[in-house]
Structure 1
Amino acid sequence: MGMNFIRQKDEETRTYNLRFYASQLNEQLYFIRNLQRQLLTDSDLQKLAFRSGSLDLYDEFRLASSVSERLATIRNSNEYVINAGVWVKSYNKSISTSQGISALPNEEWSTIESIVGLTPRPLIYYGENRLFFLEYSNNASIVSYLELSIPKLQSTLNRLAPYPGSGVLLTNSRFEGLISDRFDEKIVAAIRDQANAHDSSGSETDSWLLRVDGGQYRVSLNLVPAMGWTIYTYVDENELTGFLKKYSIWFIVLSVVSGIVIIAFAFSVNRMIHRPLRKLIRVFNKMEPDHVRLPSGGKEESEFDYLYRGFDKMVERLNKSIRENYEDKLALQNSELKQLQSQINPHFLYNSFYNIYRFCKIGDYDHVAILTQKLASYYQAITRNGKDEVPLDKEYRHAMDYCEIQAIRFSNRIRVSAPEVPESCKSLTVPRLIIQPLIENAFEHAFESVARPGHIRLTMTYEDRRFTLCVEDDGTGLTVESLAELQRRLGYPVTGKNTETTGLINVCRRIRLKYGENSGVFVSRSELGGLRTELVILWS
């Protein structure tokens, strides 16, 4: 990762430097070429070219001096230019910053003349370690030439190759001339072989890996449009990452040693900790379903001996505590049920027998038969010593028997709206005597002391293993204070101790003991105007 990071950062830096240098060089060369092209349109140069034969010597000298000054300006405009000159055919002289106004033939023009004679005429010429920019006008009747400093170009190019194993070169597409003083011929030959494929991509910048004689080099290129040439740089990646190789060797050695240490440590941990702990976990898993007392079986002479012995003692105390708590819970539930059975209001029995007597006196034997049958069924349900849980359908029928008895007692002025038990709820098993106390509370507290007609409404739902039975009445005697007090008493936890336990509180405590704190009895004001009592049972 370290070597890859160094390679990546170095490549990014070199690519940025190469792009920046190429951009700067390109701008300067464009500037030089523009000055050269502007020279060809200079008015004094044009006059000298067209009227040199008709001018007197003074005017010719004045125009030639003006052109010479313009060439000096171009020469001094950029550090790469070492000589600026122009040849005017009609004037038959050359003007340059190095030789001034010179008659032909002369050495400088001989060199330029050999270049101009090439076919096609080149705009850039590099040969004999000299670089020229040329521009032509009027069928080469005027030739402008600039000579650039090769040493200056080489010195600036060398900034792109700071490492011993790196190199840089400026060349044309055919590699016919190389401007560089530091390069490896084998590497340049390999670059030349692969350059065409990368030049054809059409991008001004590119980078690729090059392998030469077992070495790996990162090659980058950037085009200089002002010349049509390309700058190539290469660097030996071993120069960048070679010092990291010794760390790689140490890393391998340390990795092997670390692996041996880890294996030895893992083996010792498995023998001293994991095996005894796994044995202890197996014992936990065995005792989880039924809390059976199981010995841990620890006999090893290790720190786990103390843990084994402590675990055995803990299991023994836990089983004892569970047994006692379970028995206490069963006893509490039974006592709550017995208490509820003993709380049946004697006046309910007296009033029922009185109603039977009254119907006998008036000869209404049909009502006597109905009331006697319902009363017998009712008392059979609350006094039998069967299972603590019954199907919801039977518990609901018992509550309906109670409603019919109370309807006869109240001369049918209390209307009870009760739905049938849904099919999805009939198979549910619930504790005994949990519905009748809710209905009894509505009869006694909403309609016992008033003679007006009344309405009791029952609703029942069962969704997502949540059973809800709602009992609502339209009584008018419920005050805010009494509702708040009832909510407070129903909010006591299961372990709360009340000196007086009513039917609602009894049912609430029994439900919470069996099904948890989220189940129970909850009261609020009904939309009918009286009390709304909800019995909620959540099956986990």
Structure 2
Amino acid sequence: MTSRRKEQQEGCAIKFSVYIKVIVVFTVLIIPVYAVNLWMNAMGMNFVRQKDEESSTYNLKFYASQLNDQLFFIRNLQKQLLTDSDLQKLAFRSGLLETYEEFRMASGISERLATIRNSSEYVVNAGIWVKSYNKSISTNQGIAKLPNEEWSTLEGLVGLTPRPLIHYENGRLFFLQFSNNASIVSYLELSIPKLQGTLNRLAPYPNSGVVLADGRFEGIVSDGYDPKIIAAIRDQAKDREGDPETDSWVLRSGGDQYRIGLNPVPSMGWTIYTYVDENEITGTLKKYGVWFLVLSVVSGIVILAFAFSVNRMIHRPLHKLIRAFNMMEPDHVRVPSRWKEETEFDYLYRGFDNMVERLNRSIRENYEHQLALQNSELKQLQSQINPHFLYNGFYNIYRLCKIGEYDRVATLTQKLASYYQAITRSGKDEVPLDKEYRHAMNYCDIQAIRFSNRIRVSASDVPEPCKSFMVPRLIIQPLIENAFEHAFENAARPGRIRLTMTCEDRRFSLCVEDDGTGLSDETLAGLQAKLSLPDAEAEKTGLINVCRRLRLKYGEESGVFVSRSELGGLKAELIILWK
């Protein structure tokens, strides 16, 4: 990955992280307000639910207490009636009394019954049955002989063990009291509509209900209820028997949640059960839920509006500035266009533009200086032709002429001419790679003649994709010259030089290796150190000169790199990375 791409990614990362951090911080500041509102809404719903539950429990206990007091009062009157002296005489002496006396006693009992019925709105009929008298006395039928319809409803209860004190049948509810071994039976019929009217006060919501039921839910007094819910209440009430503190619980039925309340009526042994859908209780708070939703939407809009304003006022100007910094490269510095709006960033833009202008001027001056320096170094390299090399060339021509090898003289003369033409001309600073390589091969042929062909050079061809690439002049020959002079100059033994080239993905590599034996590890380390810092060298010749020129033109990743060759001598690798 190139340095420019890395800088762009780092710039984008900083850009997005700062922008996102600002939005995140603002969102974090909004969240507590939102959370407090959510907490207040939840607390409000819990408060209303709790207060409604307390109110419902209080009302249930109040009405249950009032009903119990009324029924307890009626029970006491019924018990007192059984101790009436006229009733006792009539029960023991019936048939022995005169007709008038018997009628008088029955009339007095009838009056007592009327008093009991009139004592409470819950009593619709008060009656008594005396076995020895063989008649029933009631406020509805008066003194009636047996059998009659009213007594036949209750007659079957006399023989039961234990005898019931409450009887519910066909929508009619009776209080019963037995005396003298069931020879006297007092019965009071309660008003079901009056009881329903009292119970209805405990079910103020549409989806609610109340029932007055016995322990087995066989007797139920109610104006209307959901049988499924009552059946669920009955099942759970059995599981909660024996828990005196349980006066309410939550019932889940059909996906809904109901709050159940209960309170016993001791005077009759029955219990009042209430149920209400909790959605009914919190229904008044639904409007707050709507406002809470509105608050959520408004909070989202505020966050988006803040993000948009930050993007417009801060993020976009910073993004433009960072993008301008990303465009600043050593070989590509441009002055960005001025921000069209007058903002707080205008001062930064003016300073940045001035900085870029100064950088451009400095880079241009430095580039011109480096270009002039590179040209002078090339001229210096051209002028560093070893006169001894020229003398050896002429001497080899003389020696070949003496022995009559005129063809080799012609070849050597032609190659010397081509060689000196290439290194002495002052034309373009760049040549095609293929032409530069042919010049290096001319040098190899000349040196082969000089060393009497005891140095064998093996070289590969230039890869086809790289032949037309333009490269600086005289970058290959110094590497080969280094191998001849430093590896075989003072050695009479046969030697070998190997040239290999690769060209892939715009990366060109040329390796020059020899099998010389005079390269020590210290010498190799010193050469590597010089090539790693070619600018620190005062004398720019040979490999160091080539390395510096390549780095000036192609960057730090290009240059000359040396190491130990597999052949035993020096391996000098020339690398060019075309961008």
- Normalising by structure 2, we get a TM-score of 0.51
1:525 maps to 564
Checking the alignment, whether the CA contact within 8 Å between 2:564 and 2:571 is kept in structure 1 is: yes
1:303 aligns with 2:303: no
Checking the alignment, whether the CA contact within 8 Å between 1:398 and 1:436 is kept in structure 2 is: yes
Cα shift at 1:390 = 1.7
**3-state DSSP class of the match of 2:556?**
coil
Match of 1:375 among 416, 424, 435: 416
2:469 maps to 428
**3-state DSSP class of the match of 2:512?**
strand
Cα shift at 1:394 = 0.9
* Cα separation, partners in 2 of 1:421 and 1:247, compared to 1, 3 Å: same
**1:193-237 deviation per Cα after TM superposition (whole angstroms, max 9, x unaligned):** 9xxxxxxxxxxxx98754xxxxx5489xxxxxxxxxxxxx99635
* Cα separation, partners in 2 of 1:268 and 1:479, compared to 1, 3 Å: closer
**3-state DSSP class of the match of 1:427?**
coil
2:505 maps to 464
Out of 417-426 and 283-292, give the one that drifted further. 283-292
Cα shift at 1:363 = 2.1
* Cα separation, partners in 2 of 1:244 and 1:445, compared to 1, 3 Å: farther
1:156 maps to none
2:355 maps to 314
Cα shift at 1:484 = 0.8
Aligned alpha-carbon RMSD (Å): 4.8
**1:18-45 deviation per Cα after TM superposition (whole angstroms, max 9, x unaligned):** xxxxxxxxxxxxxxxxxxxxxxxxxxxx
Gaps of 5+ in 2: 1-34, 47-158, 165-172, 174-206, 233-250, 260-274
**3-state DSSP class of the match of 1:451?**
coil
1:490 aligns with 2:531: yes
Match of 1:481 among 519, 522, 532: 522
1:160 maps to none
**1:96-116 deviation per Cα after TM superposition (whole angstroms, max 9, x unaligned):** xxxxxxxxxx956999xxxxx
**1:362-407 deviation per Cα after TM superposition (whole angstroms, max 9, x unaligned):** 2221111001110111111112223222221111111100000000
2:546 maps to 507
**3-state DSSP class of the match of 1:386?**
coil
Cα shift at 1:360 = 1.9
* Cα separation, partners in 2 of 1:408 and 1:192, compared to 1, 3 Å: farther
1:534 aligns with 2:573: yes
| Separation (CA, whole Å) in 1 of partners of 2:424 and 2:222 | 112
Match of 2:433 among 392, 396, 412: 392
**3-state DSSP class of the match of 1:357?**
helix
1:398-413 equivalent positions in 2, closer than 5 A: 398-413=439-454
| Separation (CA, whole Å) in 1 of partners of 2:217 and 2:381 | 111
* Cα separation, partners in 2 of 1:362 and 1:258, compared to 1, 3 Å: closer
* Cα separation, partners in 2 of 1:189 and 1:432, compared to 1, 3 Å: same
1:184-195 equivalent positions in 2, closer than 5 A: 186-189=225-228
- Report the residue type matching 1:445 in the other structure: H
**1:287-332 deviation per Cα after TM superposition (whole angstroms, max 9, x unaligned):** 99964657737683x4344234323322321221121122122123
1:330 maps to 371
**3-state DSSP class of the match of 2:560?**
strand
Checking the alignment, whether the CA contact within 8 Å between 2:431 and 2:470 is kept in structure 1 is: yes
Instruction: Report percent identity of matched pairs.
Output: 64
Q: Using CA pairs below 8 Å that are at least 6 residues apart, which structure has the higher relative contact order?
A: 2
1:5-24 equivalent positions in 2, closer than 5 A: none
| Separation (CA, whole Å) in 2 of partners of 1:431 and 1:460 | 17
Cα shift at 1:249 = 1.7
- Report the residue type matching 1:336 in the other structure: E
Checking the alignment, whether the CA contact within 8 Å between 2:507 and 2:576 is kept in structure 1 is: yes
* Cα separation, partners in 2 of 1:291 and 1:234, compared to 1, 3 Å: same
* Cα separation, partners in 2 of 1:415 and 1:167, compared to 1, 3 Å: farther
| Separation (CA, whole Å) in 1 of partners of 2:433 and 2:496 | 24
1:259 maps to 301
| Separation (CA, whole Å) in 1 of partners of 2:392 and 2:436 | 23
**1:92-140 deviation per Cα after TM superposition (whole angstroms, max 9, x unaligned):** xxxxxxxxxxxxxx956999xxxxxxxxxxxxxxxx9xxxxxxxxxxxx
Cα shift at 1:452 = 0.7
Out of 351-360 and 441-450, give the one that drifted further. 351-360
* Cα separation, partners in 2 of 1:183 and 1:452, compared to 1, 3 Å: farther
**3-state DSSP class of the match of 1:459?**
strand
| Separation (CA, whole Å) in 2 of partners of 1:343 and 1:525 | 27
Checking the alignment, whether the CA contact within 8 Å between 1:507 and 1:520 is kept in structure 2 is: yes
Gaps of 5+ in 1: 11-105, 112-127, 129-164, 170-176, 194-205, 211-215, 220-232
